[in-house]
A and B are shown apart, each in its own frame.
Chain A
Amino acid sequence: MNEELQLKLQAYLDGELPEAEAREVAAWLAQDSGAVGLMTELKNTRAALALHERGVNVPESREFYWSKIRREIERSDAAAHRPAPAPVSPFKWLRRALAPGMGLALVVATLFLITRPGTTAPGLGLTVATADAGTFTYRNFESGATLVWLPYPAENRLAGGGSGGNLQQQ
């Protein structure tokens, strides 16, 4: 008896065969004592397992439990069919190394447009006539707000010094 017939017999015992095939196996069992012997062995094994197998209860519902298994199979299949990564460019590391620096330089250039006396901050619509060195201008085009940040020691002059000075004395 080959393996295929053995499996068919096991499927017959488990009630998994279509009706036509089940009838064929029943006829085969009526004629073949070897098949009957194997069938008896399978029945005994199943009975022994049923007696001693520990029942396991999963916390989820049956449908959810199997859906998890299905998703994991699908994920594994997708990973198996994923195309191989493109060959790494020899300049990739250089781009990676320079990108943060370039981004930072761009931000700094945007944030700190130094506006000295007599200069025009390009694109800001601002012309500076008098300013201390270190004054910078920032513009948020989206909100329509322009900030001129002065290194001016407000502590001593505008704010009046001390704890809050004139700002809080108003």
Chain B
Amino acid sequence: MKLSALLAILILAVAGTAVRAAELKLEAQLVWASNQSTSPNPKHKPVEPEIKKKLESLPLKWSYFYEVKRQEFSVSDASETKVELSGKCQLEVRDLGDNKVEISLCGDGKVVWKGAQALPKKEILVLGGKAPGDTGWLVTIKRIE
């Protein structure tokens, strides 16, 4: 009886580890896009070169991209992971399996876009829109593990 209980605990522990290993690790960034070579906000820093290269491959009219906030997070198929990028910008992400994630972009608590995207490593999903003063906001999501 004791042995079987021990085995059950062991199996559960191994299964738990396997489930955790299957979690996707993602990174989201809120980016401010502009044609100003310096940001008026001293806290802003230019996005890392890898992200910049990806953004430059997209039909965006801006030359400078500033990282406003960056956050790493894990997603699972069990529940949605909420990522707050600004006071009014939030992501809800769920793992759909097969490298696919379901992403909801929320503004002021309302879902403004929801979609499912295959997100293999080295690929990036960018959600964006116009911002005041002929600038733009971008949310980049990439898989890191």
Binding site for B on A (CB under 8 A): 111, 115, 125-132, 135, 138, 140, 142-155, 157-170
Interface size on B (CB < 8 Å)? 50
Q: B59 at the A/B interface (Cβ < 8 Å)?
A: yes
Given the interface contacts A145-B124, A154-B129, A164-B131, does A170 sit within 8 Å of B53 by beta carbon? no
Chain B 57-111 interface residues, beta-carbon cutoff 8 Å to A: 57-60, 68-69, 86-89, 100, 102, 104-105, 107-108, 111
Report Cα–Cα, A167/B113, bound state, in Å. Answer: 19
9 A-B residue pairings within 8 Å (CB atoms): A130-B113, A130-B115, A147-B127, A150-B129, A161-B132, A163-B132, A164-B135, A165-B131, A170-B68
Instruction: Give the most central of A128, A153, A166: most B CB within 10 Å.
Output: A166
Residues of B within 8 A of A148 (CB): 113, 115, 125-128
Q: Which of B43, B58, B116, B122 contacts A147 (CB 8 A)?
A: B58
Question: Chain A residues near B57 (CB, 8 Å)?
Answer: 140, 142-143, 145
CB distance from B129 to the nearest CB of A (A): 4
Chain B contacts to A: CB under 8 angstroms: 30, 32, 39-41, 43-44, 53-55, 57-60, 68-69, 86-89, 100, 102, 104-105, 107-108, 111-118, 120, 122-133, 135-137
CB pair B137 A167 closer than 8 Å: yes
Chain B residues closer than 8 Å to A164, beta-carbon distance: 32, 40-41, 131-133, 135
User: Whole-angstrom distance between the alpha carbons of A126 and B130 in the complex?
Assistant: 22
Residues of A contacting B89 in the complex (Cβ-Cβ under 8 angstroms): 158, 166
- The complex places the Cα of A168 from the Cα of B66 at a distance, in Å, of 10
A131 touches B86 (CB 8 A): no
Sorted nearest first, the 6 A-B pairs with minimum C-beta distance are A143-B57, A125-B118, A130-B114, A144-B123, A157-B107, A129-B114
